[in-house]
Amino acid sequence: MKIIDAHTHFFPNSQMLPTPQEWAKKHGESHWIMLCADRPDGKRTLQGFPSVEKFISDMDAAGVEMAIIQGWYWQNSESCKEYNRLLRMAVRGFEGRLKICASIQPADVSSALEIIRSARDDGFCGIGELHDGVQHFNYSSEDFSKIALEAAKEELPICLHITGNNERNYPGKIPTANHAALSAARSCPNTKFIFAHWGGEIFFDGNEKLLDFGGNIYFDSAATPLLYPKNPEIWSKAAKIDMGCSLAVYGSDYPIRLYPKKGSVEEMINIVADAKDNFGKSTATSFFYGNAKKLFL
Ligand SMILES: [Zn+2]
């Protein structure tokens, strides 16, 4: 079965100079430092920093044909521009396997629009990942609709980080305005949105009628093993909910170490195996491949 991983990240650490940590400090990216740099309590970050070659060999080992590299929710638009440039350079020569999404800071609307307008020409296939809690923008604002409309014009899907409204805590957990995000997506039916991490619990909680989403809202499975560690049945539950709706998109959140107890290095094999073993056969093709192809290719 063909697999597209629609939610990965990549930090070109040899280009984020002098070190990724210093690069982020220089750019005022306190949230990224807290999440991705080594932690003050001495514990290692869950974030891996593979080279492009390691990234590709992890894809090969897991049978992943293509990976979509999401951008990051940088707090400053200058970081977005600089990181977009570094990402384009990093995947040069690997365009058949690695597709990239452009980072924007929606709170700086003119800069965000400028990035969206040239994104296609610059080699990007989507926008995001965005995080309103970290980037301090408002889904209900006119500025955000301008961004969504521009993305629709350029046929670029937008990936949103959605935090679950549950008591589960982890370092760097920052709430997102999930219902405002849903309303924004509903009022821009021509823009395609991916609600990451199963949209918090939106996908599972049954309060929203999934079929009412109008065909422009998708949900990805990024970080499932970390978010539902004691609940491997979550995959079959998702498959049951998605039956016929084709809203679910496979994503891992690689190179986060999704099974920290199983190993100290990032890998893709375990999540692919879990998802394959448990996601229903009848919806598997659209989940692992078809929906991502529709969105990004
Ligand atoms: Zn992500």
Interval between CA 223 and ligand 1 midpoint (Å): 8
Are residues 16 and 23 in contact, defined by beta-carbon separation less than 8 angstroms?
yes
* pLDDT given at position 40: 66
* pLDDT given at position 205: 85
Which residues make up the environment of ion ligand 1, defined by Cβ < 5 Å? Answer: 129
- C-alpha 102/C-alpha 251 separation (Å) is 17
* pLDDT given at position 140: 98
Interval between CA 193 and ligand 1 midpoint (Å): 14
- C-alpha 173/C-alpha 197 separation (Å) is 13
- C-alpha 4/C-alpha 97 separation (Å) is 9
Interval between CA 294 and ligand 1 midpoint (Å): 20
pTM above 0.85, yes or no: yes
Buried-state track 102-121, b at ≥16 Cβ within 10 A, e below 16: bbbbbbbbebbbebbeebee
- C-alpha 246/C-alpha 291 separation (Å) is 7
* pLDDT given at position 224: 96
| Integer CA distances (angstroms), 271 to 6, 223, 224, 267, 285, in order | 13, 9, 8, 9, 16
Q: Would you put residue 223 in left (φ > 0), alpha (ψ -120 to 50) or beta?
A: left
Residue 245: other Cβ atoms inside 10 A: 16
| Integer CA distances (angstroms), 297 to 161, 264, 293, in order | 21, 33, 5
- C-alpha 174/C-alpha 164 separation (Å) is 9
Cα Rg for the chain, rounded, in angstroms? 18
- C-alpha 20/C-alpha 25 separation (Å) is 9
Interval between CA 245 and ligand 1 midpoint (Å): 23
Q: Average pLDDT of each block of 10 consecutive residues along the chain (297 residues)?
A: 96 91 94 82 84 97 98 98 97 97 98 98 98 98 98 98 86 91 95 96 82 85 93 91 89 96 92 92 91 96
Q: Return the closest-CA partner of residue 295 out of 218, 190, 212.
A: 218
Interval between CA 268 and ligand 1 midpoint (Å): 15
Interval between CA 243 and ligand 1 midpoint (Å): 25
Domains by residue range for the chain, with CATH = 4-296 (3.20.20.140)
Q: Return the closest-CA partner of residue 176 out of 200, 145, 154, 206.
A: 200
Q: What is the dihedral of CA 88, 219, 64, 74, to 10 degrees?
A: 30
